[in-house]
Every structure is written in C-alpha cells, then in structure tokens.
Copies of this chain bind each other. A is one copy, B any other.
C-alpha cells in the first residue's frame, strides 16, 4: 500500500533528527565537525538532502572538513524558534495536563508553562510542580497578566472546543491540541493537533503486517 509515503520525513522532522544526532555526538568523544554523509546515514536520508537543508537554514560547511556542530545546532534552534522563549498555559489539569505542566524537556526548547487551569473546583488551588492550578474563569486575566502566547488543550474530547474558545477569547493565537478531536477556530489562530492516533496507526500497521507474516509462515 501507499504507507511508504507516510514514512517520509518533513523538514521539521529532519531538523529534529539532526538535533538528536548532534546531541549524541556532542556527548561522545566526537570531533566538532560532521559530514553530510554521517548525518544522512543516521537520519536515513540522502546526503544531498542534508546539504540542501543546511543551505536553507544558512549553515555553510568547508570541503574536506564538514560542518561545525555548534553552528548547525545554533541555526536549527534559531530556525525552529527554540532560542526565543515562549510562555504557555495548560487547560485541564488531569493526568495528561499534569504530565505536560511538569514535563522537564520543554525548557530545552524554549517553552515555559506559566499557568494551568481547571474547571474542577477540587483541583483549583492545588500545587502542580511550580504552579498553582487556577480556576478556568480567571483565564483572561491570567493570560493577559502573564503574557501567554500558546494555549495547550489537555481536556477530554467533549471539553476541548470550549477550552479552545476560552483560550482564543483570552487572546491566544496558537493552540496545541492534545484532545482527540478537531477544533474550530478563527483563521488567524494556528492549531497543532497532537493526535496520538497517527502514531498508533503507524505501529498498528506494522504489527498487522508482522501478524500476517506469521500466519502465512505457519
């Protein structure tokens, strides 16, 4: 089937892959230069692609030597905006919301979760890592006060649209949606839908194939 297509990597995915490689490289006994071939091997893509990508983000190498590790990481960080710093608010302080509020990895990418909201009066006021859970009614006030730019939707599916509307109403123009449902928002609002079913689909396809192979073999 056409599933090979699904495995192709977008520019964003490639840049993130490069980052991973360079991090592991930086940790090792490595030199401070890498060639496009090394990176291409790791990322399982064509070496020309790597050179194109580097050209696109403004990284230049030197023949016979390669590309400077620090220069690449810097350029990628800059391209992805990870060097800028963003303030985010999480709506929904359930298990997933808590995990996102407390996730230590975000800082590395410049994301700072500065507020968490919940509808449930029992949760409001509780501590969650460095934050105190706020009542959803205070969303406008808190978002304006803390200069939140990114809204993270971490509520169950049926509450997601409401959460999104409250965030948009409060002035947020970028949403990260973890609820398994679509959101309807104005045109000038950017939504990134982090639906797990896409990842699950990829794995399910693989498991399916493995099963079929087994049953054919027997």
- Name A's B-contacting residues (CB within 8 A): 1-3, 5-6, 8, 10-13, 15-17, 19-21, 23-24, 56, 79-82, 84, 86, 94-96, 98-99, 102-106, 108-111, 149-150, 156-157, 173-174, 176, 180-182, 190, 192, 194-208, 210-211
Contact = CB atoms under 8 A, between A and B. Distances in A.
Given A6-B11, A105-B196, A80 B205 contact: yes
Nearest to A5: B11
B20 A207 contact: no
A200 B10 contact: no
Greatest chain B CB density within 10 A among A201, A202, A206, A211 is at A201
B2 A109 contact: no
Given A79-B1, A208-B81, A197 B99 contact: no
A86 B204 CA distance: 8
A190 B208 contact: no
Contacts of A24: 181-182
A2 B111 contact: no
Contact of A111 (B17, B98, B200): B200
A105 B210 contact: no
Given A24-B182, A95-B95, A201 B12 contact: yes
